Structure 1
Amino acid sequence: MNHHDPCAVLRTPDGTLLGVEEERFCGEKHAPGRFPAQAVKWCLEAAGIGIAQVGLVTVGYEPDHMPTRMAVEIASALRHTGLIQVWDSVRKGSPVPAPDARTALAKGMATLLEIQSRLDRAPRQRMESILRQQLMSMGTPPPLRFFPHHLCHAASAYHLCNPHKAALAVVVDGVGESSSASLWLMDPSGEHRLVEEIPMPNSLGYFYAAATAYLGFTPWMNEGKLMALAAHGTADPDLDAALEQLQGPGIPWDFSAFLDGVTHRGLMLDVQASNTLFQSRLGSLPAGGDPFQVPHARNFAHAVQQLLEEKVIALIRRGIERTGIHDLCAAGGVFLNCRMNGRLIRMPEIASFMVQPVAGDAGVALGAVLLGVDPGTNNPRPELFQPHMGPRYSREEAGQALRAAGLHAETIPDAIDAVANRLARGQIGLWFDGAMELGPRALGARSIIADPRDAEIARIINTRIKGRETWRPFGCSVLAEQAENIMELPEGGTPYMIIACQVHPAWRQRIPGVVHVDGSTRPQTVIAAHQPNYHRLISRFATLTGVPLIINTSMNGPGQPLVRTPEEAITLFTHTPVDFMFLEGILVTRSTTRPLCQLKH
């Protein structure tokens, strides 16, 4: 029920989880402001049930917390309209020009009336009404239950942990109902306890988004660009001092004064106001230019990334000190920052650290479903959480899509072996295999794959396929049993491509396509038992090249969500300069006359 990343997750009686984001249906990345109607319908169809057979609908948003959010909104909005500033001037005896006072009063009253209109009906009744109206088209809706947004994040993260031990869950994002960060003591009994929360407008996520906008990127969309750019910068004491001046004395961080002036109706970030504030302290950046070419921009990104890491480390230490718990899990959009996660996992105070791969708001639906399960219910957790919860397609369905697109088939002995050989020859391909991933990371179901030994291949993927800056790095999929020979790994590996790991110096020149300027890579450790086809592909590539890993990036075009269907994969194949496509066991290649589809026996 937040503004972005709507998602539906369904738990079947046997504990199977089905889930998909609404963006995969509507085609708009993050699907802002949409209800996940198509995602709900897919979950029901995949389970073979109707809405009337669902026992409970859980929602990761607590309407009873809305009055607290409204209070924050009122203060922010009135400050934005100038009414509070006028009042302060009058109170201090300073003259205020009448036109300015009238304008501020008119804007302030309009804002108050708008907020009042949202409070005229009880927030819970209003939200229940919206949900029931949406679900009525699918049948008689079941009972509804609401959970706090941050508790749902925490529950999604705890699902990765040992179910018999307590854990400290750390949540950091933009904002939930009114909290921007929180610590939770998660207990196997289901009696979870809030340890500490940091309310808006003191939000580390908002500050990072504002910094993203200052660099000329799109906030809430391109934070990964700031993270990647940070590795190209160097420490600048003047920048550190300037950022320190934007903070207050609060612990573990205090951005209230900064954010008070740059948020307005609905707690939306005012990019113009935040840019003006940054520019007044740090100077302007060249308009429309590439920040990578500007040393000040690179160093600013470096400083902001360091600040983020230090603040989250401080929060974690507070949590450990207050609870005595050293087993941690984490979720919330800020934990999509894999560079930060790579530093956190090396903290000596932490015994174990699990980051939910669906760390953003799509993961709230997962957490809400898990909280809705009675703790007394037999609810076994898998040995390894698998985010492959989405739509899957048979080879027959893939073949039908290919025939509809006018592609023809030829039989070959082994399509996976053929893919490995093509990768070893420097070709770039699409890999579409099995159930789609939940969350932003492609994990071997909807992936663009290539040879990591050639940095030029990575440049081609960035510029000609993904439409990204050339300085942005790629992650890799690596055989779990050989990963430690190549990079520094935490215990248990990194199966979700959400933690940056340092590559051993001896390997950095061998796999430049996946090594960032700081010597790190973002790996997915692939286990044969969980992804047999993908593991076999990488194993065959290793036999051919001596390198047990491949480039893996999400299968999508510029600004698009991950592809969902065979038809979408075919469209991407025909509109981008990739060399081949593996589509549910079918290998599609290019010829001089028309695409050639080769079908495995």
Structure 2
Amino acid sequence: MLICGINASHTASAALLQDGRLIGALQEERPTRVKNRRGFPEQAIGRLLESQGLRWQDVDAYVFGGYGSYADTAPGVNEAASRIRSYKAASRLDGRMKELLEKTPVRRLVHRWRRERQIERLMSHGVERRKVSTIEHHRCHAATAHLGCGIDEQALVITLDGAGDSLCATVSLPRPGGKLERIATVREEHSIGNLWEVITALMGMVPMEHEYKLMGMAPYASGDRVDQAKRLFRSSFEHADGTWRRAAGTPNPSFAYEFWRRRLEFTRFDHICAGLQAFTEEFITEWVRDWLRRTGQRKLRLSGGVFMNVKLNKAIGELPEVDDLRVFPSCGDETNALGAAWAFLADQGKADLIEPLESLYLGPEPAPGDYDRAAREAREAGWEVSTPPDLEAEIADLLSRGEIVARVHGREEFGARALGNRSILADPTRPDVVRTVNNAIKCRDFWMPFAPSVLAECADRYIHNPKGFAAPYMILAFDSRNTAEVKAACHPEDGTIRPQVVTREQNPGYHRILERFRERTGRGALLNTSFNIHGEPIVSSPADAMDVMRRSGLRHLALGPYLVTKPQA
């Protein structure tokens, strides 16, 4: 059975599942080049099918992840600015009217109308209406954690995000046949994830996109002012018999911009970020610990956008009640395309066919001609192009000499993290490369931490991981060891890292680069950051890589079999 999972939310995506094996997944932002593109992922579906030599009609089932549906971004609309304006307007009369309407059937009618338009687009490709179905939003998140991480009937499954199909959190227990029994829920009007969104807007950043910047700033502040901010957030929510709710007088976070603006006015931005992070770690770990004690389980499976917060995951993993922790990688709504496909197959009584996630290298692979065209373009621009007999060794040589090298090779990574195939690489002992990458290449904020890729053979040298959690996806944070050797890839204020532990089996070419780098330096770790300019999607094609190289200070690019070098400016 061939299943296409679809996420038509704010990080639109598609996935292909063939007889229980995940054969491809892609976000709509990659082919459209629009960051966090929302709506129907038509181009992503098309590219996935084309990469497998399939037609739209060959798919046996199209499964939407969630009943809520987003309209496509209108041409020419600045979606980031639009989101910020919507938060500011939420406390006015039109915002209060919207809040009231969301509690009526009008909301469901709007989503239903949008979904029908999306189904019509499927049918325009020759898809039969009977092939289309929908799985509830948090069931999709739970399916990624339960089915995608490998079924374990002793693991507690928890989902946590901003909102989806009227909920922001669920707790479930495994049952035979790949099923889950939901034992607790939290409704969206009490969402901690939506609190982060409104505070992100209050900081002048883009909600549903820049929350990670608040987390990155949090370690830079400490002291009484941070504690005051934490207590302010803590006083607005309360635990209640396995769930939580807003305290009396606290409005729905989605409509609370003015409420929080008044309460936080004259509070310094870094104190707000640190207070919000500390509150979240404390409040959510209390809730998770309560459910571990209630159920007696000691294994956790987590999914949903709030668990993109790696410091929260670190705090949960350090609970004495936790023996085993797996967070589904890139667990925002983009992975609901995967969850929808897995949940649908389980509903057909075929959960035993589902193969757990093996890697995130799920995007289409460039054709040899794509690399060749990019190389010709580089030569025409006057850049040096070579085909070294041992490209991985040549990359390691450059890195060991302090150079920065971008890499485009093989299938692209799915999700928010670059894992070596669409990455910018550097020597993590050199803090000066941080300034170069931030200022000359990625054009991003100085306080955002990088991450290390670490050889699996020497992971213990760099990662304090007493419980032995698997860490191949940069979704867990740890305290660092031998910090001087990974200094530029650690958070500068607290020495924590969110590593990618690289095995030969998952990515032999990237593993070879790390091995060659260790041979030259004695160190088995590299700084790894996504290959993009800030505010743009990670590069997808060789043409995208050339475009970034033209517009930035990047000088070295490993492009398939080619090594491209741009003259020093």
Q: TM-score range by the shorter chain?
A: 0.7 to 0.9
Deviation at 1:212, TM superposition (A): 2.3
The corresponding residue for 2:228 is 238
Q: Does the 8 Å contact 2:147/2:354 carry over to 1?
A: no
Structure number with the higher strand fraction is: 2
After the TM superposition, which residues 200-599 of structure 1 pair with which residues of structure 2 at under 5 Å, given as runs?
Answer: 200-236=188-224, 237-248=227-238, 250=240, 252-255=243-246, 260=251, 263=254, 274=257, 276-284=258-266, 296-373=268-345, 374-376=348-350, 378-382=352-356, 385-405=358-378, 406=380, 409-489=385-465, 490-504=467-481, 507-516=482-491, 517-591=493-567
The corresponding residue for 1:293 is none
The corresponding residue for 1:163 is 151
**Unpaired segments ≥5 residues, structure 1:** 65-75, 83-103, 265-272, 286-295, 594-601
Cα 1:399–1:350 change in 2 (3 A) is: same
Amino acid at match of 1:37: E
The corresponding residue for 2:177 is 189
Q: Does the 8 Å contact 1:233/1:300 carry over to 2?
A: no
Q: Secondary structure at the match of 2:164?
A: coil
Deviation at 1:404, TM superposition (A): 4.0
Aligned: 1:45 with 2:50: yes
Q: Does the 8 Å contact 1:326/1:352 carry over to 2?
A: yes
Q: Does the 8 Å contact 1:128/1:144 carry over to 2?
A: no
Cα 1:193–1:402 change in 2 (3 A) is: same
The corresponding residue for 1:151 is 139
Looking at structure 2, the residues matched to 147 and 461 of structure 1 have their Cα atoms a distance apart, in angstroms, of 41
Cα 1:416–1:113 change in 2 (3 A) is: closer
Cα 1:394–1:9 change in 2 (3 A) is: same
The corresponding residue for 1:132 is 119
Q: Does the 8 Å contact 1:160/1:354 carry over to 2?
A: no
Deviation at 1:186, TM superposition (A): 2.9
The more displaced of 361-370 and 317-326 is 317-326
Looking at structure 1, the residues matched to 247 and 47 of structure 2 have their Cα atoms a distance apart, in angstroms, of 41
In structure 2, which of residues 35, 41, 50 is the aligned counterpart of residue 29 of structure 1? 35
Cα 1:259–1:573 change in 2 (3 A) is: farther
The corresponding residue for 1:85 is none
Looking at structure 2, the residues matched to 110 and 499 of structure 1 have their Cα atoms a distance apart, in angstroms, of 36
User: Number of residues paired by the alignment?
Assistant: 535
Q: Does the 8 Å contact 2:63/2:340 carry over to 1?
A: yes
Q: Does the 8 Å contact 1:24/1:563 carry over to 2?
A: yes
Q: Does the 8 Å contact 1:388/1:436 carry over to 2?
A: yes
The corresponding residue for 2:187 is 199
Looking at structure 2, the residues matched to 413 and 395 of structure 1 have their Cα atoms a distance apart, in angstroms, of 17
Q: Secondary structure at the match of 1:185?
A: strand
Percent pairwise identity:
29
Deviation at 1:380, TM superposition (A): 4.9
Amino acid at match of 1:509: A
Q: Does the 8 Å contact 1:183/1:195 carry over to 2?
A: yes
Q: Secondary structure at the match of 2:339?
A: helix
Looking at structure 2, the residues matched to 152 and 188 of structure 1 have their Cα atoms a distance apart, in angstroms, of 18
Looking at structure 2, the residues matched to 117 and 157 of structure 1 have their Cα atoms a distance apart, in angstroms, of 32
Q: Does the 8 Å contact 1:50/1:139 carry over to 2?
A: no
After the TM superposition, which residues 74-93 of structure 1 pair with which residues of structure 2 at under 5 Å, given as runs?
Answer: 80=91
Q: Secondary structure at the match of 2:358?
A: coil
Deviation at 1:261, TM superposition (A): 5.6
Q: Does the 8 Å contact 2:386/2:564 carry over to 1?
A: no
Deviation at 1:204, TM superposition (A): 0.6
Deviation at 1:324, TM superposition (A): 2.6
Looking at structure 2, the residues matched to 181 and 278 of structure 1 have their Cα atoms a distance apart, in angstroms, of 22
Cα 1:81–1:410 change in 2 (3 A) is: closer
Cα 1:191–1:107 change in 2 (3 A) is: closer
Q: Does the 8 Å contact 2:387/2:561 carry over to 1?
A: no
The corresponding residue for 1:17 is 23
The more displaced of 428-437 and 136-145 is 136-145
Looking at structure 2, the residues matched to 558 and 43 of structure 1 have their Cα atoms a distance apart, in angstroms, of 26
**Unpaired segments ≥5 residues, structure 2:** 1-6, 70-86
The more displaced of 341-350 and 423-432 is 341-350
Looking at structure 1, the residues matched to 354 and 107 of structure 2 have their Cα atoms a distance apart, in angstroms, of 42
Looking at structure 1, the residues matched to 183 and 289 of structure 2 have their Cα atoms a distance apart, in angstroms, of 13
Q: Does the 8 Å contact 2:239/2:287 carry over to 1?
A: no
In structure 2, which of residues 120, 136, 161 is the aligned counterpart of residue 173 of structure 1? 161
The corresponding residue for 2:4 is none
Q: Secondary structure at the match of 1:511?
A: helix
After the TM superposition, which residues 56-75 of structure 1 pair with which residues of structure 2 at under 5 Å, given as runs?
Answer: 56-62=61-67
Q: Kindly report the root-mean-square deviation, in angstroms, between the aligned alpha carbons of the 2 structures.
A: 2.9
User: Deviations along 1:547-569, whole A, 9 cap, x unmatched?
Assistant: 10101001111200111101001
Taking structure 2 as the reference length, the TM-score comes to 0.87
User: Deviations along 1:404-445, whole A, 9 cap, x unmatched?
Assistant: 452664443211111100001111111111111111000111
The corresponding residue for 2:80 is none
